[in-house]
Structure 1
């Protein structure tokens, strides 16, 4: 069954603005004390597309060019497209079983298939995955704006490069200011649709990075200072064959957005729009991913680093190189800042459902809402300041929690088939998803463990 054949979710009688209640459902239209509905009439199509696209395009975009260096352009681009279609199938399965079980959250459909343990397992996975992502985002923002030191080498941040070293552009102060000025206001919204404008800006900033990278690459290609990159991987020995598999986890986790699909769907005035929203978002993100990977690999070739943003810390070989480097880094830092609230939204809802499963909806309890919000922001800030090496720790959790959320859980729900609606194609595809996810996790965990072992050995 294609995602286009999904029926609309059943709403309660009483009008299009009727509220759907669930312990992990975001704030929806509320009946005020005078009995009238609030002004919220449902999320718009563009807003939903931008919110879902922002959920997808996070920090992972900077790791994709390195996969081209490993796989070559042709296999790399084909894999990006393939995983996009696989993601659409997993989202379709998730929504289809949600419709059948009348569930309005990811946790709800997991609970429908596997009971309370299934719901809790999903909530734990989202909490671990999203908390890790938020901390990594803060670390990246600190590195870009304030600088970082690695192996006794100091890399100046943008603010330090512009104004010199001062107390107000130190890592702790910059992240505190970012938290208070950007994160606190944006995480205070109770509807995901309220973030539609910042999500649109976030996508625009990602496009700015693509446009600048493409422009530089095309200019250098025309003047003959760079050559066309490799179309296929270099395979010389067994180690080079194994190295190909290390690119799989990066691409597999590039489209993880499942934890926000229900929140976006619940706020739509017409829930049948979830089909074009998912397809449009995946198409938009695929274009951004392919363009970023192609032009960055074309520009830097075999010198492409694991985080391509680090390549923009040196002379690019053209006029105004330093200015373009700063624009790229500032736009990316801004992009990450605006992705943060979308990740935070799902984290807060699932953590609340995990800790307070029997409480009233989070949107109706301002004290609980504020307490969870402040606690999560504080923990993220402190972790990014005092434990910057937490990146290594969350590489392991991301390698497991992310693939569970994106592929293993939707596939497991389909194989469980609590409503008898799965087809043979669904079962075959689900089995393939689980095998791919387990393999991806195993490769990522081995690669991370090997990297940590090498670092400790060198130290």
Structure 2
């Protein structure tokens, strides 16, 4: 939709040469009004306050609650797979990769916020529409949908595998006894109906901040427990202990070194490290919705939310990976909780499993929001808000994902592809090319430093995607494919 003037009659600034397309399914955000010399760096409000009559919930979410929401979106089941990634990269290489991906994720959010602030568009998919027209919008929506369906699947797989263990610990039996309440297939359906669906039907993402606080609290408890267990679990290989020195191991498969902490290591499973880390830091699809609901929404204020959230999750990821790895070394499994399988009757481990279950279950409704937004952008972009669509879409999504989790015994291969394709696309490729296309050339020429950086950023993402896919395919071909962790 072409707009020559803002709703208050003031013309668009001259430096914005790209015609904005501002249609959105439930958030109607017109371009900002500022004089011709204003720039995004001045941090004027993204959504004018006089738009409150259009969207009655714009600007009601506090800075702290927005941080909790974004942090909860970043944090996911990937925290269970990072110790496995460290085991297959070594401590030094892992820290370098994790730091790089965290910094690049924050930079990609900067590119999105800058692009969105210039043209006043509050949706990732609409930035695609602004940059490349309808096909760009469809591409962005499809990538977001595929990524989040994969993310939901990993969450519900955790519910399927861990909830029977928790219930069995409370009732004093195991899943082999045959009771229906110890079958994971039944339990994910019950959890979807009782917990996930009511939260997914909420219209305002900001209200889920309270469940985000609880979810993050559960994961902090998980981290504390991992640190505690590091000093109470001996090495699983006889004649080794937890005081082995740090060593540099390259392509080592010796059984004699399984309890030594490796500084750098390479093997066939190293190919999964980058997809796991990239998958763990994807939050870009919900950045703009959180931006629109932030109180006093400015680019500087939202960037602060993003930086704090990414830094907090980086610290949690690094500590969990380090202490999980230094507890089990080469024996760490793809999902860290499974490595404690010998401690099923341990009360602390039972509580940890319960905390993780609460965290991932409460994250699913937050994940549903960007999926629903993406589908609405594709099929109902010009339609007003409808409670029917708002209710039907999460129901269909949950039915589909439940069936997928029930029928597919192992999602490791699908997840490997999703982590190697959709994550680099959302973090690196699309933000970079959106920025190049959307920011006007009279404001930033193509040969300007910011646009050259954005082009290099997108190129790095494409290179990572190609290398990851090729490495995973080679691992499949070698027949050494291992179970890997999730987002």
For normalisation by structure 2, the TM-score amounts to 0.79
Question: Compared with structure 1, are the counterparts of its residues 455 and 139 closer, same or farther at alpha carbon in structure 2 (3 Å cutoff)?
Answer: farther
Partner in structure 1 of residue 224 of structure 2: 211
Question: Is residue 253 of structure 2 the alignment partner of residue 227 of structure 1?
Answer: no
Equivalent in the alignment of 1:159:
167
- Per-residue CA deviation, residues 231-281 of structure 1 (Å, 9 max, x unaligned), is 6553469x9376545422222332110000011000012112212211110
Q: What is residue 281 of structure 1 aligned with on the other side?
A: 309
| Mapping for residues 437-452 of structure 1, pairs under 5 Å | 437-452=461-476
Question: How much does 1:76 deviate?
Answer: 1.5
In the TM superposition, 1:55-66 aligns within 5 A as 55-66=73-84
Alignment deviations for residues 92-130 of structure 1 (CA, whole Å, 9 cap, x no partner): 011101111121111122211111111111001111111
In the alignment, the residues of structure 2 paired with residue 244 and residue 395 of structure 1 have an alpha-carbon distance, to the nearest angstrom, of 12
2:266 alignment partner, SS class: helix
Aligned to 2:283: 257
TM-score by length of 1: 0.83
**Equivalence map 1:12-411=2 (5 Å):** 12=48, 14=50, 17-19=52-54, 28-29=55-56, 42-146=60-164, 157-163=165-171, 164=173, 165=177, 166-219=179-232, 225-227=241-243, 230=246, 232-235=248-251, 240=266, 244-272=270-298, 273-315=301-343, 322-360=346-384, 364-411=385-432
Equivalent pairs, count: 417
Q: Deviations over 1:332-380 (max 9, x none)?
A: 11111111111111111111211223222xxx31111111121111111
Taking the aligned partners of 1:298 and 1:321, their CA distance within structure 2 comes to: 23
> Is the CA contact 1:73–1:231 (under 8 Å) kept in the aligned structure 2?
no
Whole-angstrom distance in 2 between the partners of 1:233 and 1:18: 62
Long gaps (5+) in structure 2: 1-39, 235-239, 254-264, 483-487
- For residue 46 of structure 2, what is the aligned residue in structure 1? 10
C-alpha distance in structure 1 between counterparts of 2:363 and 2:221, whole Å: 15
Give the root-mean-square deviation of aligned CA atoms. 2.8
Greater fraction of residues in helix: 1
Change (3 A) 1:47 1:457: closer
Q: Within 2, Cα distance between the matches of 1:139 and 1:457? A: 19
Separation of aligned partners in 1, 2:232 and 2:393: 49
Per-residue displacement from partner, 1:78-105 (whole Å, max 9, x unpaired)? 3222221111111101110111112111
Do 2:47 and 2:297's aligned partners in 1 also have CA atoms closer than 8 Å? no
